[in-house]
Amino acid sequence: MASSRVPQQLFLQGVAAVYLFAFASLYTQIPGLYGPEGILPARRTLRPQGKGRWQQLWETPTLLWEAPRLGLDTAQGLDLLTLLGTVLALGALLLNCLRHPFIYLLLWAAYLSAYQVGQVFLYFQWDSLLLETGFLAILVAPLRRPSKPKTPQGGLAGTLPHEDLPFWLVRWLLFRLMFASGVVKLTSRCPTWWGLTALTYHYETQCLPTPAAWFAHHLPIWLHKLSVVATFLIEIAVPPLFFAPIRRLRLTAFYAQALLQILIIITGNYNFFNLLTLVLTTALLDDRHLCAEPGQRCPKKKPTSWPKALLTTLSLLLELTVYGLLAYGTVCYFGLEVDWQQRIVVSKTTFTFHQFSQWLKMVTLPTVWLGTASLAWELLVVLRRWIQVQGWSQKFFAGVQLSTLGTATVALFLISLVPYSYVEPGTHGRLWNGAHRLFSSVEHLQLANSYGLFRRMTGVGGRPEVVLEGSYDGQHWTVSLPRRCREIEFMYKPGNVSRPPPFLIPHQPRLDWQMWFAALGPHTHSPWFTGLVLRLLQGKEPVIRLVQNHVANYPFHKQPPTYLRAQRYKYWFSKPGDQSRWWHRQWVEEFFPSVSLGDPTLETLLQQFGLKDKSPLRARSPSSALAQTLNWVRTQLSPLEPSVLLWGLLGAVVAIRVVQTLLAPRPLQSSKQTREEKRKQTPKKDSRTASEQAAPNSNSSDTWAPRRKK
pTM of the model: 0.89
Output the furthest CA–CA distance in the chain (Å, rounded).
119
Strand partners, 463: 571
Q: How far is CA 404 from the centre of its chain?
A: 27
Average pLDDT of the chain, as a whole number = 86
615 vs 437, residue with greater confidence: 437
pLDDT at 253 over 70: yes
Sheet of strand 563-573, all strands in order from the earlier edge strand to the far edge = 487-488, 463-471, 563-573, 583-595
DSSP-derived secondary structure letter, 280: H
The angle subtended at Cα 484 by Cα 480 and Cα 490, nearest 5°, is 135
Average pLDDT over residues 269-292: 91
Q: CB-hemisphere CA count at 13 Å for 478?
A: 1
Q: What is the pLDDT of residue 706?
A: 39
At residue 680 the predicted structure's pLDDT band, cuts being 50, 70 and 90, is low
What CA–CA distance (Å, rounded) separates 98 from 400?
Answer: 23
The residue count of the chain comes to 710
Q: Nearest CA to 440 among 419, 423, 421? A: 419
Q: What is the 3-state secondary structure (H, E, C) of 447-470?
A: CCCCCCCCCCCCCCCCEEEEEEEE
Q: Which amino acid is at 704?
A: W
Q: Which residues of 594-628 are buried (b: 16+ CB within 10 A; e: fewer)?
A: bbeeebeebeebbeebebeeeeeeeeeeeeeeebe
Task: Using DSSP, state whether 566 is helix, strand or coil.
Answer: strand
> Which residues, 6+ apart, have CB-to-CB distance to 423 below 8 Å?
179, 180, 183, 184, 187, 360, 364, 450, 452
Q: What is the pLDDT of residue 140?
A: 94
What CA–CA distance (Å, rounded) separates 96 from 580?
Answer: 51
Between the two ends of the chain, the Cα-to-Cα distance in Å is 60
Contact 549, 641 (CB under 8 A): yes
695 vs 321, residue with greater confidence: 321
Average pLDDT over residues 105-113: 97
What CA–CA distance (Å, rounded) separates 690 from 692?
Answer: 5
565-599 pLDDT tens trace = 999 999 999 998 887 889 999 999 999 999 999 99
Q: What is the pLDDT of residue 330?
A: 95
Contact 156, 150 (CB under 8 A): yes
Contact 270, 512 (CB under 8 A): no
Contact 506, 583 (CB under 8 A): no
Task: Using DSSP, state whether 1 is helix, strand or coil.
Answer: coil
> Which residues, 6+ apart, have CB-to-CB distance to 395 below 8 Å?
386, 389
Q: Which residues of 77-90 are buried (b: 16+ CB within 10 A; e: fewer)?
A: bbbbbbbebbebbb
What CA–CA distance (Å, rounded) separates 459 from 583?
Answer: 14
Stated as kind and residue range, the H or E segment containing 511 is helix 510-518
Q: What is the pLDDT of residue 114?
A: 96
Stated as kind and residue range, the H or E segment containing 564 is strand 563-573
Stated as kind and residue range, the H or E segment containing 512 is helix 510-518
Average pLDDT over residues 624-637: 91
Q: Which amino acid is at 115?
A: Y
> Among the listed ranges 153-162, 165-174, 249-258, which one has the minimum average pLDDT value?
153-162
User: For residue 419, is the peptide bond before it cis, meaning its omega torsion is within 30 degrees of 0?
Assistant: no
Q: What is the 3-state secondary structure (H, E, C) of 196-261?
A: CCCHHHHHHHCCCECHHHHHHHCCCHHHHHHHHHHHHHHHHHCHHHHHCCCHHHHHHHHHHHHHHH
511-559 pLDDT tens trace = 999 999 999 999 999 999 999 999 999 999 999 999 998 888 898 988 9
613 vs 296, residue with greater confidence: 613
What CA–CA distance (Å, rounded) separates 411 from 396?
Answer: 23
Strand pairing category for 563-573 and 487-488: unpaired
Q: What is the pLDDT of residue 155?
A: 40
CA 98, 103, 107, 108 torsion: positive or negative?
positive
Average pLDDT over residues 12-17: 96
Stated as kind and residue range, the H or E segment containing 607 is helix 600-608
Contact 233, 326 (CB under 8 A): yes
Average pLDDT over residues 633-647: 90
Average pLDDT over residues 445-450: 93
Contact 653, 506 (CB under 8 A): no
Q: Nearest CA to 271 among 457, 626, 18? A: 18
Q: How far is CA 308 from the centre of its chain?
A: 40
pLDDT at 437 over 70: yes
Task: Please give the radius of gyration of the chain, using alpha carbons only, rounded to the nearest integer.
Answer: 30
358-411 pLDDT tens trace = 999 999 999 999 999 999 999 999 999 888 888 888 888 888 889 999 999 999
> Which residues, 6+ apart, have CB-to-CB distance to 610 below 8 Å?
44, 527
Average pLDDT over residues 312-317: 90
133-143 pLDDT tens trace = 999 999 999 88
Q: Which residues of 402-427 are buried (b: 16+ CB within 10 A; e: fewer)?
A: beebbebbbebbbbbbbbbbebbeeb
pLDDT at 623 over 70: no
What CA–CA distance (Å, rounded) separates 371 from 170?
Answer: 12
Query: Left, alpha or beta for 466 (phi > 0: left; psi -120 to 50: alpha)?
Result: beta
* Domain boundaries of the chain, sorted by first residue: 1-153, 160-289+308-460, 463-614
Q: Nearest CA to 118 among 175, 58, 151, 77? A: 77
Q: Nearest CA to 23 among 94, 97, 105, 113? A: 113
The angle subtended at Cα 144 by Cα 140 and Cα 150, nearest 5°, is 100
Q: Which amino acid is at 654?
A: V
